[in-house]
Structure 1
Amino acid sequence: MSETVPDTMRASVLIEPGTLVVEERPVPRPDRDEVLVKVSSVGVCGSDVHYFQEGRIGDFVVDAPLVLGHEAAGRIVAVGADVPESRIGRRVSIEPQHPSATSPQTLSGRYNLCPHMRFFATPPVDGAFAEYVTIQSHFAFDVPDSISDDAAALMEPLSVGIAAAHKAGITAGSRVLIAGAGPIGILAAQAARAFGATEILVSDLDENRRAQSREYGATSVLDPRTDDIAGLGLDVDVFLECSGATPAVLSGLAALGPGGRMVLIGMGADEVSLPIPVIQNRELVVTGVFRYANTWPTAIDLVRTGRVDLDSMVTGHHDLDHVAEALIESTRPAVLKTIVSPGL
């Protein structure tokens, strides 16, 4: 059953670094190929924190008011002219991308690398800390009722872990080392386990995060301050770098066995000196992931079948009036995923 859509909505808007205000804004109208989603849950990401605290991430600079939030889910309440009305009322997880349909990267299937990408909460595109958002209909993925609103929102960061698992070629029997046991590291561990990895070593400086990682797939944990990761002779097949820390990059690379693959996920230093002879002599593959492409169906199935647990990662909820508190809370080591619920 459809519902009456109001003319205006509330949105949390970043005015300048450290300053958020709740504004009354017009409810967006869906274009012909879009749907209007009433937002139920939005996960807080580290990129939201960077924009809030510093007003920029690399070349992306907040120079005008911006709505943050890109890990989103909700219910379709209106559709554009080219979208079947039968979609109204569907609960959906949002893939927050809008690539050009005709760029070479999109046509090759790598639409995440489209140079004309419009991505939620990346200047100047508004995100989902709001009561309503629009998205192209094919990027609004139906979710079954067995999946919660929070889990539907967290398909987005899970997709990063899935994209990394694909890039790394993780399969049955893979031995995987993961640096960083924050939210992305935990999701990477869950994805690695779901893809068949039988040994998952997780390294982190924080004792609580190391312990936490055991609940999500880690078969053993390492403390980089006391464990010589580079010198242990681990010879792992895959190294997933989720911390962004230069020492972790170098020690993890050294821990790869011949033919191993390193996937850079965490955002760290702009430049790192790598040991070229090690890469050449072991025929290592060093690559990265930038967001994801074609991951949502896999993410939804992994959660639906219980192979990935997202709900237990949620450690707090906040409404639109307390987004700043949500952003600050998400930086604490004990916190995995904080959720903003615009309907609270």
Structure 2
Amino acid sequence: MAAPGQNLAVVVHRAGDLRLENRPIPEPGPDEVLLRMHSVGICGSDVHYWQHGRIGDFVVKDPMVLGHEASGTVVKVGSGVTHLKPGDRVAIEPGVPREMDEFCRTGRYNLSPTIFFCATPPDNGNLCRYYKHSASYCYKLPDNVTFEEGALIEPLSVGIHACKRAGVTLGSKVFVSGSGPIGLVNVLVAKMMGAAAVVITDLSASRLQKAKEVGADFTIQVKNETPQEVASKVESLLGCMPEITVECTGVQACIQAGIYATRSGGTLVLVGLGPEMVTVPIVNAAVREVDIRGIFRYCNTWPVAIALLASKRVNVKPLVTHRFPLEKALEAFETTKRGEGVKVMLKCDPTDHNP
């Protein structure tokens, strides 16, 4: 058990090498706050850095603290911080622009090439007891929003950004491919934004059951169907081809199914990241004017997400299926790697393991 003055952290050193270590408690700069971390979710990217030591061009060269789905309590504020005070409960937006470039000026700061992002090399994440962060990217949580809901704003934001980029609106018919945490938040958000019907696919029956719980209208358990067969099942369940497809797996066959399934003139949003090169029926998409859009994380979503959670319009609580104290982080990572449950939550405050 770490002494109160210690800062236990989950650190990846290289592929396959994950450790619990004590780090010094950081001192917040003028525009920063020091947080006592409470709840941090484990993301697929955290597991990927642990297993492979890299994601694309982002390579772990030095030991890096993992974690970017997080909430905590302010314990100290920098001299320039006015909107937060010690004792405030906050949700953390992990991406902080380092400079006011063209992307920041147009409101798309997530695309800034020099952005700081928790747990993306070389930037440390917040899966630790104490963490300092830019105060402008810490958002105060209302009393009726729990720490875990605050931590889940990060994955929820991916759903908000994806559904906005997709143009989900009243009456939309939506196909979500993949029923992991990101697929599920896209179901939640699409329904919230007025989708009339959402169909979701996955290999796992238990994940599809969870999708039903959070509001999916139809589920398809994919076995060994061709992409065209999946597309045709989607159409028969919805009674038409969906205007919008949100692809959350990154798997080549799923991207292909997404193109075949989307109605002419519709939109396919690619959320899941797989291999760098994939083979897709691009001519099929082109001649049917199917717009293919990418998304990169999110921007300007925290205030929206907090409003949705505070008003109880969106319920993310069913996503959390496992909880571990920070000391058992390695066990928690193994659980996530095995694909058990949906969202594994680490509890970083030894004095408070409540949601």
Q: Scaled by the length of structure 1, what TM-score is found?
A: 0.94
Instruction: Identify if the C-alpha distance between structure 1 residues 222 and 35 changes in structure 2 by more than 3 Å, giving closer, same or farther.
Output: same
2:286 to 280, 285, 297: 280
Letter in 1 for 2:71: A
- Contact 1:13 1:22 (8 Å CA) reproduced: yes
Please state if 1:64 is matched with 2:62.
Answer: yes
- Contact 1:100 1:106 (8 Å CA) reproduced: no
Instruction: Provide the residue aligned with 1:343 in structure 2.
Output: 349
Letter in 2 for 1:78: K
Instruction: Report deviation, 1:335.
Output: 0.9
1:241 to 217, 236, 247: 247
> Which region of structure 1 is more displaced relative to structure 2, 195-204 or 129-138?
129-138
SS in 1 for 2:349: coil
Letter in 1 for 2:348: P
Which whole-Å deviations, capped at 9, do the CAs of 1:186-205 have from their partners, x for residues lacking one? Answer: 11100111111010000111
Gaps in structure 2 of 5+ consecutive residues: 351-355
- Contact 1:12 1:321 (8 Å CA) reproduced: no
Alignment of 1:1-344 (within 5 A): 8-84=6-82, 87-225=85-223, 228-232=229-233, 233=235, 234-344=240-350
Instruction: Identify if the C-alpha distance between structure 1 residues 257 and 85 changes in structure 2 by more than 3 Å, giving closer, same or farther.
Output: closer
> Which region of structure 1 is more displaced relative to structure 2, 322-331 or 175-184?
322-331
SS in 1 for 2:246: strand
SS in 1 for 2:298: coil
- Contact 1:79 1:85 (8 Å CA) reproduced: no
Instruction: Provide the residue aligned with 2:353 in structure 1.
Output: none
Which whole-Å deviations, capped at 9, do the CAs of 1:163-187 have from their partners, x for residues lacking one? Answer: 0011000011010000100111011
- Contact 1:206 1:333 (8 Å CA) reproduced: no
Letter in 2 for 1:230: A
Instruction: Report deviation, 1:86.
Output: 5.2
CA distance in 2, matches of 1:231, 1:86: 52
CA distance in 1, matches of 2:321, 2:120: 25
Letter in 1 for 2:296: F
Instruction: Report deviation, 1:271.
Output: 1.4
- Contact 1:72 1:152 (8 Å CA) reproduced: yes
CA distance in 2, matches of 1:133, 1:48: 17
CA distance in 1, matches of 2:288, 2:313: 33
Which whole-Å deviations, capped at 9, do the CAs of 1:32-86 have from their partners, x for residues lacking one? Answer: 1111111000000000000111111111111111110000100111111110275
Gaps in structure 1 of 5+ consecutive residues: 1-5
CA distance in 2, matches of 1:195, 1:337: 23
Q: Scaled by the length of structure 2, what TM-score is found?
A: 0.91
Q: Cα RMSD (Å) of the superposition?
A: 1.6
SS in 1 for 2:231: helix
Instruction: Report deviation, 1:121.
Output: 0.6
- Contact 2:207 2:342 (8 Å CA) reproduced: no
> Which region of structure 1 is more displaced relative to structure 2, 39-48 or 332-341?
332-341
> Which region of structure 1 is more displaced relative to structure 2, 320-329 or 12-21?
12-21
Count the aligned residue pairs.
339
SS in 2 for 1:252: helix
Instruction: Report deviation, 1:112.
Output: 0.4
SS in 2 for 1:122: coil
Instruction: Report deviation, 1:318.
Output: 1.5
CA distance in 2, matches of 1:337, 1:325: 14
Letter in 1 for 2:11: V
- Contact 2:252 2:279 (8 Å CA) reproduced: no
Letter in 2 for 1:325: E
Instruction: Report deviation, 1:334.
Output: 4.2
- Contact 2:321 2:341 (8 Å CA) reproduced: yes
CA distance in 2, matches of 1:219, 1:112: 32
Instruction: Provide the residue aligned with 1:3 in structure 2.
Output: none
Letter in 2 for 1:93: A
SS in 2 for 1:236: coil
